[in-house]
Amino acid sequence: MQPVKKLMMIALVVSDMPKAKAFYADKLGLKVGTDYRQDDGHWWVSLTLPEGGVTITLTTFHENAKPGAMTLWFTTSDITSAHKELSDKGVKVSKIGDDLHGPGSGVKWFNFKDPDGNLVHIEQV
């Protein structure tokens, strides 16, 4: 028996929910599914890609996690357009690199940081 079937959610600790929510929804284009707030220290916002898949849940409930300690990977079919669109929206993107997965892989990519310093990679597939 396979004990796990698929990844369904990742929790991402944030320090400023309105700023983080705006970044992921407005700049990256993720869809807000739920927004549940008990108070500023117990606030959860779940987001998904328009096509569905793994949910990213932003949370202000830190427990032992620290904002800025995560790395997220997204894919795009057009790295140049994605780079330009995010740059035009004010995201400080790196230059487009090549060979992300080693010499000769030909995988183009770039990265940037979210408002809490989490590293976000975009890779062309």
Tell whether the model's pLDDT for residue 7 goes beyond 90.
no
- Residue reference for tokens 């698929």: 6
73-106 per-position pLDDT tens digit: 999 999 999 999 999 999 999 999 998 888 889 9
Point out which residues pair with 123 in neighbouring strands: 75, 109
- Residue reference for tokens 């035009």: 88
12-44 per-position pLDDT tens digit: 999 999 999 999 999 999 999 999 999 999 999
Domains of the chain: 9-124 (3.10.180.10)
What tokens were used for 39?
């108070």
Tell whether the model's pLDDT for residue 11 goes beyond 90.
yes
pTM: 0.90
